[in-house]
Each structure stands twice: as structure tokens, then as C-alpha cells.
Structure 1
């Protein structure tokens, strides 16, 4: 995959495009429980390990009866596989498929919560000789499930290596390889759509990042860390992770074949924690001070980003913002018989060592990723760094708004749209992202576009604070009538009496505004308490009349609390 250089399209701030990935129903995270090793714990111990770590789904590469029995009555969902070695027989003989499903699915269901059968494993890449048997085998397994009354509960799919997508950048050019597109992918996608199933795709951003011969793919883009993003020049969609780009390339490939609503779930994705280079992968060494591509730092960051994203419901992509999907991390254990030896990256994709100790910290409960240095106990804010320039701020702003910041208040007409500058809007978005992430270390950086301060910046806009002011066009007579009503019905009008703090300026608009605002704040800004038959309106920037600044809700509440204490005394 070759990424073009970052192209940032600057739009007027009045048309600020905010990239919201609409949360779907939260997807579910699982793991691939591979067993190509001679030193792994028994499957009963694995069940306890999964439960201790909040892992609710597993995918196995066969239908081993010992494993299936161990997972009975555990509540853990399981995806089983008809291995490549049995694929041709299942395609050729409906009776063979029926016997396989009866022995390996219905014999254990529902005690073991088998919810899917994967037919074969990356057939196009690993067993191209079986390519023409794939869809017939899937159809025969589906018929067997139907004959046994399990077709609604157990879906049939097949894991497809991402190499089946011939073009992946820009994502909008995504298409399947010519040799499989029409003869295999089209009937397969039609089968999946008719049976209410989904395509299973195995994207590995790690391999694209590791194989590149230039710095076209940044480490943050590979990991899904905050970054300026990459824009698809044809659609204008901005991508902040290589995983999203690969998923959308798959979706666009499906679109080109007319399957615009079929789901694509991620059967495998992950990153190795160590291992030496493979000649076919190109350069795996560190660059620009980054860790080696295969490193604990990268594996931890990539997998935690994926886990937290899916469990928070952010499974959408720029092209399919409402997409839902389940994702399986590869793999549960480091497997010592994969690859060419213990230093091969293939043996180092595990979340756990065979002794069941974590390779690095992760969390399947949807909590924050690995322990980070604690933020300062004092309050802090995240501000935009003007020195990086508008292009960088715009890209970082879009990232923040697309990854959890609440940017509704900086839309045109909203409380914090003014001042209408990129610096002000970026500061608002960065701070929202920072606060919503619990001021965690690293959440106020945006590749140098932001920094932390420990005194509240002047002019900080709080969209939850508002004031009630007089409408001068209502005329003095209506304002006086409304002012008298407010003062007689709970507003504290002592400050606008002669000689008091807000008597000056001695104008009807200033006095009425003070009275209206007092009434509004004391009624906790309830709907309808700033109207006075059209004589007042709500504003979101603190009004000032002469030297008198209208108090906010907080100040009124503080004054009310003090008066209540004095009354109690």
C-alpha cells in the first residue's frame, strides 16, 4: 500500500467539517485461540484465563472436541472452523457436510455457544487449489445447519486474507483481485447476503507498515494514535488509521459488486511484540526514533486502540459510519511452532505467554488502556499551539472531533462558535478530547498541535453557561413592565438600586438585563424563564454593561448557598 503525501484540504471555519463516526451498537471483542504450539495450558485453564480478563468470544481453527467441551456452559461465544483439509470433501458431498455439522456443532450446541462456522482459512492465499471448492462448501454447511434447525443461530462465513483486495489506497479505489472477484467473491457475497451472514476479512496494518520502503505510512497512522490523517483524494474522506483505510477498501470493493449493505467483520488483526524480519516484508527496523515495527510498544498501542474503539461502539469507518462489527485479536498466545522458530514474528502475536502471563498490559473490559502516568491532581486544560499553523490545527481538530470530542458547541450559531478562528475552535475541540479522556497522559498532544496548561485560559467558553439579556427593540415601557415582574418574582434586584454596584449605567436596557438574568439564573435557566413576552433572549457570552458583568449561574448559586447558610445560623 502506497499512501500519497498528506493532503490537507482547508475549509472556511464557517463551514467547519467535523468528522463524526456515528457509534453503532457496541461491537464485541474476541481473540483467536490458536494452538500451533507444544507448551500451551489445557483448555479448561484457558477458559478461566478468558473469564479473568473479560474476553467473551473466541475463534478456533478447528472443532477440537476437548476445547468444545471445555467451553460448555461458560457463556463464552465460540466460532469454529471447518479446516482447509476437509474443504474439498464438504464441497463435493452434502452428506459429508451434514455429518461434520452434526458431529462438530449440533453435538455441543447450545451448551457451547457456537455462533458461527468458518469454512476454510484464507483459502485464496494458503490453498489456492481449493478456491473453486470454497463457495460450494459454504453452501453445503449452510444446508446442513438448516437441516438441523441451526441456520438462524449459527452463521456461515469464511476468513479472507486482505491480499484478496487488489487496490487498497485510496480506499475508494478498493476492488477485489481479478482472479477471484467475479468467479468467487460475487457468488460468495451473494450467499452471505442471502443467509444474513457477513464477510470475514483479516486486515493487518502491521504488514503494510513493516513492508514499506519509505516513510509514507507513519507509525501513528498504523497504530491509530492521534495524527493529522490521510485524505482520500477522490472522496475527501479523512482517515486516521490504516485499519479504517483497509476496512473501507474492502467496503468499496464490495460496493463495486453491488453489495452496499453487507457487513464485514474482522476475523484477525493484531501486531507482533517481537521477532526478526522476513525477506518478503522488507524493512522492519526502527526509523525516525520509532520502535521497531515488531515491538511490545507497537503491539500494545495497536491492540488497545482496537479493543477500546470496538467496546466503545466506534466501529464505523469514514465510508460506513454506522457499520457494526465484531473483531478478533490475533492471537491469544505466543505459539512456538508457528513460523521458523521463536524469533519469527509469526510466533509472537500473542497477548499472553504460554505461562498465561500478559506480554503487555491490555483490557477487554472497555476501560482505559495500559496504566499511564497519572495526570496532575490540579485542574488542567488543553490548548491549541498556534505555531503549528492552520493546516495542522485543522487536521488535528478533525481528528479530535471524530474521536470523542464534543464539537457541537463550535458549529455556526452554537454557544462557542465565536470567536470564529481556527485556533479557538481547535482549542475547544482539543480540550474536550482531553477532558473526556480523563486528562490521561498523551491525550493533549496531537503531534505537537496542543499543550497542557494549569490555569484556566482567558476566554474559555463553557457552552453550559448562558445569560438572559433584555431585547432593546421591545421598548422601555415593555422592559419596565417585565423588569418589575422579575424583581417581584424572585430576581435579586438590589444591585441595580441607586448607589449599588450595577446601578450604572442607569439605562432601562442595563437594569432590565440585570433583573432578567437574575430571574433566569435563580430558576436554574429553566426553559421559558428568559422570555418575558419577547422582551428578553438567551446569550452565551458574558454580557457587560459599563463596569457591571452579569453574574453566571455559578455565582448566583454561590450567593444563594451563602444566604441559606446565614438563614440557618
Structure 2
């Protein structure tokens, strides 16, 4: 989900993972989209960036095969919809492990299995199945002699906490503690695994921008917040959230459980009410988080423990439901170009800035709590050059024909005829269709041949309309 010097982004990620003193940075590879590169190309992208840790949301055979012999460590997932069957029947767990783990390991470096995802907030109420499913999957790994190589855990949402402020008062929701939290933590300790937590300071900031400093949410210089309970000073909301989880673990006597942040990120685009969404803030959050992780510093409560995170996410995913932000967490666009620049080398980490891509340096960044026009209102639709000529031509024909896009400007001799390329003409037509339909969801897809950007396209001297 972005556009930068690829090789360097990876150097950053690999350096993090190799060093014992520093934490590690991986990335979530979600695929709820119809315009993404093939898994083989994605693996090439990951390797070109030096990213050597990736987390999936399933065990897709094509993806796992593409990752084979790549040197990339993989966290796979057993989806929530399989929890009930896996919990009820050991043979179902055995079959799943045989078909989805042993079939690919060790060529594919599967290092962990996420059993379910944010199960406690699953509307289908699968909480009771979680620990039994984890135990059955583990028993299957034991049979295959893989239990020491592959860990089992389950990502929990930050909302599993009843209290998160101040951090020292962190506690889990009481209704979860005895039935599932403690049994899960016991299992993690017995198997030498770790707690997976999804933490998004963006949500807390967007909901409380009148009380939370944007600089505090983005790891920027700020006065800090002193915890009234233990006197520790916090310089970032992320660290405060992580320590709230550690405090919650301590409150129920599970201080020795390790933690990995399996999802965290910041959207590069959002709706009007999603305060703080935007490229500049996304670049600042992810860039500064990576800087902190690479520097090897822990949290105020556990300063000696490196932080391990998986950024969310690799690509913008155009078929995700919900607000605009849900489709715009990626570091890369579907055409493998970077959405914004974040530090990519240790030298950059020591003094570089995290910036949006193609943003004019003369444009002043928004003040804390303010959302700039390029962050929410102004978006454009452009062609995905990797979709192939046949698909682009068919989509262009539709946009200018049935779609009734205004294509006069790309006719021979007209203002936007040059550059005379299929991608440039398709971009103009797709954007015309998108703006004409008031940038409604689904109007910049064209079967995977297009995607939304938040910076104006640059094709010669042609100016793309905004529809505003």
C-alpha cells in the first residue's frame, strides 16, 4: 500500500528482526480486494523491501506456496468460522493441520498459528470455542512433531480491556477473565507462546480528539502524560495502550506472559468524521513506530522488553466494508507503489522524516485535530497499470460508453490526449466516472483495473477534475 524506494523499506524491516536488542516489525497481508498483485509478485515485493515477517488471515494454498523458500516467517490463521468444528472434534483439527500446515512446512516458514481473530467481539459469539480449538490444534501439532517449532495464540482486540486509562489501572473485562482469558493465558504459558494483541491508537484519538493530543497519538514531541497510578510518564498513546494490557495481565497474576502486537496502523484516508485520518498522519504514526521499535526501546512499564509489531497492512483493500478508513490502511497501493514514505534505513531513522508521497512541501500540514482537504474530501480514481491491457481497455470502453464518463478531453488533439497511453487515458476516464458518481463506494473498481488515491494524478499537463 504505498510508493517508495522498495529495497530500503525492507532493509528497515529486516534490520529490526535480525537484531536481538531491537524489536521486530512485520506486516499484515490482507486480501479483501479484487485488484491485488498475484501472491508470487507480493512475495517479490516483500523480499525487495527486506520484509521478512508476514501475517496472514487464512491458509490460502497459493499464498503459502508462493512464500515457500522465501526466507519470510509466516503467521497463518484458522478463521473464526472454523472454531466450533475444531473445538468439537480432534479429527477436524488433525485434518486442518495436515492440509494447511504440514503440507507446506518447513518450505514455508510457518512460525505461528492465530486461532481465530478478535474472537471476543465476533458477532457470531464464538468465544466459548476458542481455548478448546487452540488445545486441539496444539495436540495436532504434537502428533506431527511441530509443537516446538510453531506457536499457537489468538489476536485479541484492545476492547477486551474493561479499563485502559490510566495504564496502571488496566484490567480485562470481568466477564471474560475466568471463562476464557485465564484458560488462554494458562495455555500460552504451558506451550511457551505469547499473547497477540491488536492495538489502534487511531480509534482512541478519532473518538477523543478534544482530549488527546495528536502529537501524543503520533509519537511526536509532546509534554507527555503522567500516569496518576504509578507516576510513569508516557510520550505516546501506543505505549500507554500496551502498558495497559501489561497491567491487566499483572492484575490477574500473569506478569510473565510475553506480548506481540499483531495489528497496528493508521489510515491514509478517511471520512469527514474520522478525525486524524490522512497520509501525513499515517506516515508519522507508522514511521515513528518503526523508529521506536528499531531503536530497541520498550515501554515505560517494561523498558527492557523489545516491542514486536505487525503493521496493518500491506495493501489498501478495496472490498472491505465499513468507513473509508477500512480500505486505506495499506503501505502500498495495489500497483505496488507506496502510499507514503517512512524511514527505510537506520541512517534515515536517526534524522529522517516520514512523509506522504508526491505531497507539495509548500503545503502546511494540518494542525492537531484538523483534517486537511487532501485527507478526506479530495480523492481521485486512477488506472491500475498492472491490470493488463485487455482489462484496462475493456474498462475504458465501459467508462466512456455505458458509464457515460466525460471522455472528450482524451480524444485526439484534446487537452488530455497526451500522454497517449492506455493507462493515462483510462485513468482520466475512470476518474471522470468516479467524480460523476460523487466518489461513491464501488465506483472506482472496474473489476480491479482501478483504485483510489488521495493525491492528484500527474499525466503531463492534464488536470484531473475533483468533482467538488
Q: State the TM-score, normalizing by the size of structure 2.
A: 0.69
CA distance in 2, matches of 1:372, 1:249: 29
CA distance in 2, matches of 1:222, 1:76: 31
| Residue segments in structure 1 that go unaligned for 5+ positions in a row | 1-22, 278-282, 286-292, 374-446, 448-569
SS in structure 1 at match of 2:57: coil
What's the counterpart of residue 312 of structure 1? 295
Please say which structure displays the higher CA radius of gyration: 1
What's the counterpart of residue 331 of structure 1? 313
CA deviations on 1:188-223 (whole Å, 9 max, x unpaired) are 0111011110000001000000011x5221011101
Contact 2:69 2:108 in 1 (8 A): yes
SS in structure 2 at match of 1:118: strand
Cα offset, 1:127, TM superposition: 3.8
CA distance in 2, matches of 1:76, 1:133: 31
What's the counterpart of residue 249 of structure 1? 244
CA distance in 2, matches of 1:256, 1:122: 21
Contact 1:202 1:266 in 2 (8 A): yes
Q: Cα distance 1:366–1:162, how it changes in 2: closer, same or farther (>3 A)?
A: farther
Contact 2:68 2:104 in 1 (8 A): yes
Say which structure, 1 or 2, has more relative contact order (CA 8 Å, 6+ apart): 2
What's the counterpart of residue 339 of structure 2? 359
- 2:50 aligned to which of 49, 54, 58: 54
CA distance in 2, matches of 1:366, 1:155: 30
- Residues 376-387 of structure 1: matches in 2 within 5 Å? none
Is the aligned partner of 1:349 residue 2:323? no
CA distance in 2, matches of 1:219, 1:233: 21
SS in structure 1 at match of 2:329: coil
Cα offset, 1:24, TM superposition: 6.8
What's the counterpart of residue 255 of structure 2? 260
SS in structure 2 at match of 1:41: coil
- 2:114 aligned to which of 92, 115, 118: 118
Is the aligned partner of 1:150 residue 2:146? yes
Cα offset, 1:107, TM superposition: 1.1
- Residues 521-532 of structure 1: matches in 2 within 5 Å? none
Q: Cα distance 1:363–1:126, how it changes in 2: closer, same or farther (>3 A)?
A: farther
CA distance in 1, matches of 2:344, 2:110: 20
CA distance in 2, matches of 1:102, 1:325: 32
Is the aligned partner of 1:273 residue 2:268? yes
Q: Cα distance 1:68–1:101, how it changes in 2: closer, same or farther (>3 A)?
A: same
CA deviations on 1:170-202 (whole Å, 9 max, x unpaired) are 001100011211211011011101111000000
- Residues 134-283 of structure 1: matches in 2 within 5 Å? 134-212=130-208, 215-277=210-272, 283=273
Is the aligned partner of 1:69 residue 2:65? yes
CA deviations on 1:248-299 (whole Å, 9 max, x unpaired) are 000000001111111111000000000215xxxxx534xxxxxxx0010100
Contact 1:80 1:116 in 2 (8 A): yes
CA distance in 1, matches of 2:229, 2:195: 25
Cα offset, 1:366, TM superposition: 4.2
CA distance in 1, matches of 2:102, 2:62: 15
SS in structure 1 at match of 2:125: helix
Contact 2:195 2:258 in 1 (8 A): yes
Bigger mean CA offset, 304-313 vs 88-97? 304-313
What's the counterpart of residue 274 of structure 2? 284
SS in structure 2 at match of 1:129: coil
What's the counterpart of residue 517 of structure 1? none
Contact 1:166 1:175 in 2 (8 A): yes
Q: Cα distance 1:260–1:128, how it changes in 2: closer, same or farther (>3 A)?
A: farther
Cα offset, 1:153, TM superposition: 0.7
CA distance in 2, matches of 1:361, 1:148: 43
CA distance in 2, matches of 1:192, 1:128: 24
Is the aligned partner of 1:301 residue 2:281? no
SS in structure 1 at match of 2:260: strand
Cα offset, 1:365, TM superposition: 4.6
Contact 2:261 2:308 in 1 (8 A): yes
Is the aligned partner of 1:33 residue 2:29? yes
CA distance in 2, matches of 1:196, 1:149: 15
CA distance in 2, matches of 1:359, 1:36: 18
CA deviations on 1:2-50 (whole Å, 9 max, x unpaired) are xxxxxxxxxxxxxxxxxxxxx9732211110000000000001001111
Cα offset, 1:364, TM superposition: 5.1
CA distance in 2, matches of 1:267, 1:361: 22
Is the aligned partner of 1:95 residue 2:94? no
Q: Cα distance 1:364–1:97, how it changes in 2: closer, same or farther (>3 A)?
A: farther
Contact 2:243 2:299 in 1 (8 A): yes
CA distance in 2, matches of 1:38, 1:181: 39
What's the counterpart of residue 516 of structure 1? none
Contact 1:308 1:368 in 2 (8 A): no
CA deviations on 1:84-114 (whole Å, 9 max, x unpaired) are 1111111111111111111111111111000
Q: State the TM-score, normalizing by the size of structure 1.
A: 0.57
Q: Cα distance 1:187–1:367, how it changes in 2: closer, same or farther (>3 A)?
A: farther
Cα offset, 1:371, TM superposition: 5.4
Cα offset, 1:372, TM superposition: 4.6
